Structure 1
Amino acid sequence: MYLRPIHTEHDIPTMQALIEQVQLGVLVTALPGPTGPTIQSTHLPWVLDDNDTTDADEEPAYGVLRAHMALANPQAKALIACAKEENGWLVEHEVMVLFTGNDHYITPQFYTETKPQTGKVVPTWNYESVAAYGKARIYHSRQQPATADFLDMQLDRLTEQAETKQTRLSTCWKVSDAPTSYVQRLKGAIMGVEIRIERLEGKWKMSQEIGEGDRAGVVDGLMKEGEKGEAVARVVQARGLVGP
């Protein structure tokens, strides 16, 4: 990720909070194949354990990401092919999960100070993004109890997280609401993915680089763009210290 200092986020809890808010992240891998590395990606909803303990050397605890994906997915097949059973089905290649939060197009018309003075303005895009890097451990072998245990835990936690954070319904759906035989059949077609995060990169590109007058124009313009624009405007205010 290209990180200008003015846009770079270093605070781990802030980056973890975006991951938990967004949930849907893109798993990106470049694993070796018969003809060389192949770039693959899949959108997956993730659960973050952000209370991972630190090692003895006091390295930062970035957390652990967990998800599941279809065994029929070519990316899943590539992960299985690269995993080492003797190492607990760990894939010894770095993977990345990319999360994107609030975003909005920024028209030059929002720059109410510079546009009328010089006209030297161009369109851009404001966005929040976090990239998590680490090595993936997969749970696909039906001969190992760890696979069933992982999938049971993952499906329950993911469902609870999504039902409480992504809907406004008064009651939450649970995995146990579906027939057991149906759930077991579906579980046979998926595998678990676990990534202990080794580094995090955060980027909040929210008009920090422009002058206060133009930032105020951006905030004012975004506030007229509906719920999505208002959400970005609030971040611009927080990052650029514009307005109340």
Structure 2
Amino acid sequence: MYIPKHFKVNDFSEIEAFIREHSFGTLITTKKGKPIATHLPMQLCKKENKYYITGHMAYGNPQWKTFKTCEDVLITFQGPHAYISSSWYEKENVPTWNYQSVHVYGKAYILEEKELKDDLTYLLQKYEKHRPDPVLWDTLSPSLLEKELKGIVGFKVQVNEIQAAYKMSQNRNKDDYENIIMQLQNEGNPESSKMAERMKSKNLNMRE
């Protein structure tokens, strides 16, 4: 991923938090030179001082069969993004787009049955534990779980490289930056509002 120096993120704890928050990502592999992509909920975990991205897909999805032939797979995670009008700048310029994005590269492996069950248990806990009637691994019938497990393939990607870009107008002057935040807040759409909040938080951190 091309990342100008103003927008590169190196703080792993910040990247880790971003992946956990925006965990619905895109898994990309190739088959005979043709890119294949699947959109999936995934998790970042650490085992024996190594980081992995884990997830699962339908058994009928042929992408998992490409893991053996791909030296590296690519997983992308996308955060909020918003159009930035150059009318919000003090001086004449061209419009642009603000965004947050993380790319993860690594080798993919098929999960063993126990690994898959552990991963699914954690996944259910993450998205269900706060609900009034949580559907957890232990509350589902063994017969249903046995049936559903036959229909999926679990995977883990050992993280070899992470690239992170937060393009949030860091290259603009203070007045432009604060005006962009205000204009985004007035846009009236969720993505612009989220970007405004991220920029506001980033601005506060830069001042501390």
TM over 0.5: yes
1:79-94 superposed matches below 5 A: 79=67, 82=68, 93-94=71-72
| Aligned-partner residue type, residue 173 of structure 1 | V
Following superposition of structure 1 onto structure 2, how do residues 57-136 of structure 1 map, counting pairs within 5 Å? 63-79=51-67, 82=68, 93-111=71-89, 113-114=90-91, 120-136=92-108
Letter in 2 for 1:175: W
SS in structure 1 of the partner of residue 93 of structure 2? coil
Measured against aligned partners, the alpha-carbon deviations of 1:133-168 in whole angstroms (never above 9, x if no partner) come to 1100113xxxxxxx221221111111111235xxx6
Aligned to 2:177: 215
Matched, 1:46 2:42: yes
Which of 122, 125, 136 matches 1:160? 125
TM-aligned CA deviation for residue 71 of structure 1 = 1.4
Gaps of 5+ in 1: 55-60, 83-90, 115-119, 140-146
Check 1:52–1:152 CA distance in 2 against 1; reply closer, same or farther (3 A cut): closer
Give unmatched runs, 5+ long, in structure 2. Answer: none
Larger radius of gyration: 1
SS of the equivalent of 2:72 reads: strand
- Count the aligned residue pairs: 206
CA contact (8 A) 1:47 1:157 kept: no
Please, which of 191, 202, 205 is the counterpart of residue 228 of structure 1?
A: 191
Deviation at 1:229, TM superposition (A): 2.7
Counterpart Cα distance in 1 of 2:178 and 2:53: 37
Contact 2:30–2:66 (Cα < 8 Å) also in 1 = no
Which residues in structure 2 correspond to 1:24-43 (within 5 Å)? 24-31=24-31, 36-43=32-39
Q: Percent identity?
A: 27
Structure 2 length normalisation: TM-score?
A: 0.88
